[in-house]
Amino acid sequence: MTAMCHGRVVIVTGAGRGLGRAHALAFAAEGARVVVNDLGVGLDGAGGSGDPAQRVVEEIRAAGGEAVAHGGDIASTEGAASLVTTALETYGRLDTLVNNAGFLRDRMLVNLAEDDWDAVLRVHVKGHFLPLKHAAAHWRAESREGRPVVARVVNTTSGAGLLGSVGQGNYAAAKAGIVGLTLVAAAELGRYGVQVNAIAPAARTRMTEDAFSGLSALPEDVSPLVVWLGSAASTGVTGRVFEAEAGRITVMEGWRPGPTADKGARWTPSEAGAAARGLLAEAEPPGRVYGAVRSGVVRD
């Protein structure tokens, strides 16, 4: 290894299993001291145990690294604040935040309960926002005191948030929200020495093995990009979304103006419709929603 993150202190949320575990181990292998956060919940967010986080800590220590477990709920103000405090009190600094925690409650829209909507939005969107808010407050204070800040945030979105995914309206909405949060945070926090990017990973984990049975890429295939984005070596890269799967890395390009028509005055409904159809004929077709087919959808 190159010790790319030597001396850095890294928080990884949802790090007890899957992608988060792979990220935590990869950062530790590159010399980082890692705060391993995980509630130990099931795929739907039920239950809770500190065992997964502690096992990852023990793996890191057995390999000669430094790590500490954190079992707080990062979608709560208290849990997110204590997460940042754990890094500062244990290691005296914080350099990188990897927001990764999440779970699924998949349903078609007409069957999606309000509780399932709220729970998924809470863990993904609030679970990104609150740790980011508390970490950013620390970095802003450091910057205002004249101390150099070389901070990194890596958020976790999904192809579901970029293209949509049948049966995952709550998850897709949450992951799309994370992209918006990433862009705003990158714009607001750059002045304090903080870079914010997002990844849309594709890997076989507990969350994906049922929904995408043919997916064979490993979580460990995604982590090298996350480590680089979380290191000082990524200087100048912010406000970007990357898709990572196996050996493939793609810079995702989001909404931007396409074909435009300007009448210079108010359209009538018929005129607006005719103009819209003409513009659509010139525009690039949208990407296919995951799980959708031309004649309908794959699952009911």
Same-domain status, 276 and 194: no
Q: What is the mean pLDDT of residues 233-244?
A: 97
Same-domain status, 184 and 105: yes
Same-domain status, 169 and 297: no
The yes-or-no verdict on residue 29 having pLDDT over 50 is yes
Does 158 qualify as catalytic in the annotation? Answer: yes
Q: What is the mean pLDDT of residues 158-163?
A: 94
- Residue 40 has a pLDDT of 80
* Confidence band of 246 (pLDDT split at 50, 70, 90): confident
Q: What is the mean pLDDT of residues 5-27?
A: 97
- At a CB cut-off of 8 Å and minimum separation 6, what does 279 contact? 258, 259, 260, 261
Same-domain status, 295 and 149: no
Q: What 3-state DSSP class applies to 158?
A: coil
Q: Is 154 within a domain? A: yes
Same-domain status, 128 and 88: yes
Q: What is the mean pLDDT of residues 46-58?
A: 81
Nearest to 100 by CA among 29, 19, 194: 19
Catalytic residue selected from 91, 165, 171, 290: 171
- Residue 119 has a pLDDT of 97
Catalytic residue selected from 175, 223, 231, 234: 175
- Residue 125 has a pLDDT of 98
| CB neighbour class for 256 (10 Å; exposed up to 12, middle 13-18, buried from 19) | exposed
The yes-or-no verdict on residue 297 having pLDDT over 60 is no
Q: What is the CATH number of the domain that holds 189?
A: 3.40.50.720
**Pairing outcome for strands 296-297 and 292-293:** antiparallel
C-alpha torsion sign, points 224, 225, 227, 232: positive
**Domain extent for 168:** 9-252
Q: Is 4 within a domain? A: no
Q: Are 51 and 134 within 8 A, CB to CB?
A: no
Q: Are 64 and 33 within 8 A, CB to CB?
A: no
Residue 107 per-residue DSSP state: B
| Average pLDDT over all residues of the chain | 91
Q: How far is CA 126 from CA 123, 176, 214, in A?
A: 6, 13, 31
The yes-or-no verdict on residue 170 having pLDDT over 60 is yes
Same-domain status, 298 and 247: no
- H or E element: which one contains 140? helix 127-144
Q: Is 3 within a domain? A: no
- Residue 298 has a pLDDT of 40
| % of the chain at pLDDT higher than 90 | 84
**Domains in the chain: how many in total?**
2
Does 295 qualify as catalytic in the annotation? Answer: no
Does 171 qualify as catalytic in the annotation? Answer: yes
Same-domain status, 141 and 87: yes
* Confidence band of 47 (pLDDT split at 50, 70, 90): low
* Confidence band of 299 (pLDDT split at 50, 70, 90): very low
Amino acid at 31: G
Same-domain status, 139 and 268: no
Q: Is 183 within a domain? A: yes
Catalytic residue selected from 82, 91, 158, 165: 158
Same-domain status, 276 and 195: no
Same-domain status, 237 and 132: yes
Q: Provide the phi-psi class of 236: left if phi over 0, else alpha when psi is between -120 and 50, else beta.
A: left
Same-domain status, 103 and 127: yes
